[in-house]
Amino acid sequence: MKTLNILFMFGLLFNLKPIMGMDASSQLQIIAFWAPWCLPCLQLSPIIHDITQRYMGRVLVIKINVEEQQITSEQYNIEELPTVIFLKEGRVVHRFSGTQSQGSVERLIHQFL
């Protein structure tokens, strides 16, 4: 059984650099903001999990429940769910809201790797 390289964030705020001993600033990070009552979030979830497995070691995937991480959600101006943010070298390089196909998400990953 593979261990997924996906982090579920709890608590108030987080700093990506010390997570799992990785230099998060140089690795592509995907932050998926979601809520358990959000149907489009539930539709996107299997794609996020598959991407986590396929790009293990190359992409850090973080899922953030907006109900538990209100401060972080506000910092990233999350107004729609799901919202997925791509970070590279600590900067937002792309974001989308709503559902996307797996192919669309993978094309974005390849664009920023």
b/e burial code for range 50-87 (CB count within 10 A of at least 16 → b): ebbeebeeebbbbbbbbeebeebbeebebeebbbbbbb
Please pick, among 35, 38, 42, 56, the residue that the annotation labels catalytic.
Answer: 38
Query: Any catalytic annotation for residue 12?
Result: no
Query: Any catalytic annotation for residue 96?
Result: no
Distance CA 42, CA 35 (A): 8
Residue 45 token pair: 């979830």
Please pick, among 32, 41, 84, 85, the residue that the annotation labels catalytic.
Answer: 41
Distance CA 74, CA 24 (A): 21
Which residues are identified as catalytic? 38, 41
